[in-house]
Amino acid sequence: MLSNTFDLQLVAKVKSLLDAAQRIVIFSHMGPDGDAMGSSLGMYHYLVNSQPIAKTERSVAVIVPNAFPEFLAWMPGSEDVMVFEQQPEECATRVAEADLCICLDFNDPKRIGPAADSLVQNTCPKLLIDHHLNPADFATITLSKPQASSTCELVCRLFYGLSDENAEGISGLKGEAGQKIATCLYTGLMTDTGNFSYNSNNPDLYEIVAQLMRAGIEKDQIYDRVFNQSSEDRMRLTGYCLYRKMRLFPEHHLALITLSIEELKQFNYKQGDTEGIVNMPLQMGDIFYSVFMREQEPKPGTTKNVVKVSFRSQGDRPVNIMAGEVFRGGGHMNASGGEYYGTVQAAARLFLREYEKYLNK
Ligand code: 5GP
Ligand code: MN
């Protein structure tokens, strides 16, 4: 069914790790998005329901470093997700006791912020499944495919590899549990491809979607829950960004939007409210690069504001180099991010000084 899945020996090794583990912790990255939550919760339901060790003997915790957006709070199992920033001690204890850590949708422990120490300190086996470039060498088994649309796609491929020989497709997608697994995995496929509008040219993706649909997902309802539940504040903030805040640099096919803490307060900003705004300037025919900056309060114990910087581009125009070299981040060729410590005005000045070196096609 799927043309390109994982090497069988590697899958066999993953199987023995999963079969043996009793206290599992699943991690995903800071600012959890649909793919982070989808892959983590898909794996969670799979391990709790479809694996040889019975439910009662196995504990599975999903830990994210900070809060996930409200538009993902409907996901099955989201009520069980532990947020490291909100319960650091409970989370650290769960990690210390774990006999397997599964790391999803990030390529370096740095990407889980405050949770990184507890992950690194536990010497238990670690399984990394991810689609970012250049995974750090910290896991016992690394399943990394940067060409994949999403981590959810890779999790589907792994489940396919783990399926019984006689199964026609991905086994484990049966009954109520299967529907939950499929719902979570579809969410990440959908969000990481902009509802199948980029990184989505591989026919395998649609084979996977067909299987997830046969498992009983409500595809259109998932779209509605993720994309059509904005608050009025969020809609107006989006309008404000496009009308008042978007600066265009036509000669460089570039748009820049910045938001200060004060501006965010005017719109009663909640986690996730600015998700997707960075993609909007690319709707203009001659804009190929878009950059979005959002200022946040200083991290605990520090004094400088943090500016989250998001980069998007179209075609063969890498933005991950600038994200890495100027904003200490990284990511994919067409979708990257980083951080700046200081005000959003200073972050914008730095960007304006440097961008011609990096974003010039
Ligand atoms: P977003 O702009 O949606 O926050 O992030 C887009 C992509 O950029 C993410 O999928 C991730 O690969 C990457 N990214 C975002 N922020 C950071 C960061 O602070 N560090 C690194 N290394 N990558 C980031
Ligand atoms: Mn992803």
Domains of the chain: 8-226 (3.90.1640.10), 232-357 (3.10.310.30)
Cβ atoms within 10 Å, residue 31: 20
Q: Evaluate: CB of 310 within 6 angstroms of ligand 1.
A: yes
Nearest CA to ligand 1 atom 11: 331
Q: With a 6 A CB cut-off, is 31 part of the ligand 1 pocket?
A: yes
Ligand nearest to the CA of 333: 1
| Residue 319, ligand 1, Cβ within 6 A | no
From the CA of 49, how far away is ligand 1's center (Å)?
A: 31
CA 287/CA 279 separation, integer angstroms: 11
The pLDDT assigned to 169 comes to 80
Atom of ligand 1 nearest to the CA of 328: 20
The CA 326 to ligand 1 mean position distance, Å, reads 13
Whether the CB of 132 sits within 6 Å of ligand 1: yes
Give residue 300's pLDDT: 83
pLDDT in the model for residue 361: 85
Distance CA 222, CA 188 (A): 11
Short-list 303, 326, 308, 299, CA closest to 260: 308
Give the integer Cα–Cα distance in Å for 361 and 358: 9
Q: How far apart are CA 254 and CA 60, in angstroms?
A: 44
User: Residue 55's pLDDT is what?
Assistant: 56
Given strand 100-104, what is the order of strands in its sheet? 82-83, 59-64, 23-27, 100-104, 126-130, 141-144
Mutate to test the pocket of ligand 1, among 336, 339, 340, 341 (most ligand atoms within 8 A of CB): 336
Q: What is the CA radius of gyration of the chain?
A: 20
- The ligand 1 atom at the shortest distance from the C-alpha of residue 106 is 12
pLDDT value of residue 171: 79
- Residue 338 Cβ < 6 Å to ligand 1: yes
Which residue has its alpha carbon closest to ligand 1 atom 20?
A: 329
The pLDDT value given to residue 13: 97
* Dist CA 124 CA 262 (whole Å): 44
CA–CA gap between residue 82 and residue 66 (Å, rounded): 9
Q: Is the CB of 331 under 6 A from ligand 1?
A: yes
pLDDT at 284 (0 to 100): 98
pTM: 0.95
Is 7 exposed, middle or buried (CB count within 10 Å of its CB: 0-12, 13-18, 19+)?
Answer: exposed
DSSP strand pairing (141-144 vs 335-341): unpaired
Q: For the chain, which residues score pLDDT lower than 50?
A: none
- For ligand 1, whether the C-beta of 329 sits within 6 Å is yes
- Residue 2, pLDDT score: 78
Atom of ligand 1 nearest to the CA of 327: 19
CA of 192 to the centre of ligand 2 (A): 6
Residues forming a β-bridge with 337: 310, 330
Residue nearest to atom 2 of ligand 1 (CA): 310
Which atom in ligand 1 lies closest to the alpha carbon of residue 33?
A: 3
Ligand 1 pocket member 335 (CB < 6 A): yes
Return phi, psi of residue 249, to 5°.
-125, 80
Q: What's the gap in Å between 257 CA and the centre of ligand 1?
A: 17
